[in-house]
């Protein structure tokens, strides 16, 4: 199971904490691994600022039928390379966003090239959205109703 994070998410805890909170990316990775362990999942967390690296990771996930939790960050809104890579995924994809892009003032954030390929979208739930995404991938009922934009 992969948790993939796009550009600038490596700066969590320092970047706009009023929007993204105080948890660092290392802290988020530790949380995801722990939540995964509780759910019986082997979770690997990665972050990159390089679009081609993200596409390579998504292509490998497609080849291996690996489930993915994806926060594509800025690429969510414009990267057709990420769109095409997500289209190839065989295993479930859950799109996650710490803030809710549809509620942000910047209009460009209101659309996603990832959503058409996602089994679920978890948005606006802070870092706990990653836990909810992992639960959704296990199809456990305690996930609650977090599919779609919330």
Query: Which residue, chain included where needed, has tokens 């934009």?
Result: 149
111 is in an annotated binding site: no
pLDDT the model gives residue 144: 41
19 is in an annotated binding site: no
Question: What distance in Å separates the CA atoms of residue 125 and residue 145, rounded to the nearest whole number?
Answer: 12
Question: What distance in Å separates the CA atoms of residue 70 and residue 85, rounded to the nearest whole number?
Answer: 12
H-type helices in the chain, by residue range? Answer: 17-20, 25-39, 51-64, 80-87, 128-138
pLDDT the model gives residue 61: 98
8 is in an annotated binding site: no
Percent of the chain whose predicted confidence (pLDDT) is above 90: 75
Question: What distance in Å separates the CA atoms of residue 131 and residue 35, rounded to the nearest whole number?
Answer: 6
Question: What distance in Å separates the CA atoms of residue 140 and residue 57, rounded to the nearest whole number?
Answer: 26
For 4, residues 6+ apart whose C-beta sits below 8 A from its C-beta are: 46, 47, 48, 54, 57, 58, 68, 69, 70, 71, 72
49 is in an annotated binding site: no
pLDDT digits (tens, 9 = 90+) for 106-127: 876 778 999 999 999 999 999 9
pLDDT digits (tens, 9 = 90+) for 64-111: 999 999 999 999 999 999 999 999 999 999 999 998 888 776 876 778
- Considering the segment(s) 2-143 as one domain, its CATH architecture is 3-Layer(aba) Sandwich (3.40)
The catalytic site residues sit at: 20, 97
**Which has more pLDDT, 20 or 100?**
100
pLDDT the model gives residue 140: 47
Question: What distance in Å separates the CA atoms of residue 78 and residue 7, rounded to the nearest whole number?
Answer: 13
Question: What distance in Å separates the CA atoms of residue 113 and residue 140, rounded to the nearest whole number?
Answer: 27
């Amino acid at each position: 199971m992969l948790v993939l994070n796009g550009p600038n998410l490596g700066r969590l805890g320092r970047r706009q904490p009023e929007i993204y909170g105080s948890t660092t990316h290392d802290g988020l990775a530790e949380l995801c691994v722990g939540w995964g362990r509780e759910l019986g999942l082997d979770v690997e967390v990665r972050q990159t600022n390089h679009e081609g690296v993200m596409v390579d990771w998504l292509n490998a996930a497609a080849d291996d039928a690996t489930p993915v939790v994806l926060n594509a960050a800025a690429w969510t809104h414009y990267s057709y390379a990420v769109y095409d890579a997500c289209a190839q995924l065989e295993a479930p994809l859950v799109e996650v966003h710490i803030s809710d892009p549809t509620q942000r003032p910047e209009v460009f954030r209101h659309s996603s090239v990832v959503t058409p390929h996602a089994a679920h979208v978890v948005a606006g739930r802070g870092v706990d959205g990653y836990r909810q995404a992992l639960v959704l991938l296990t199809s456990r009922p305690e996930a609650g109703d977090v599919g779609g934009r919330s």
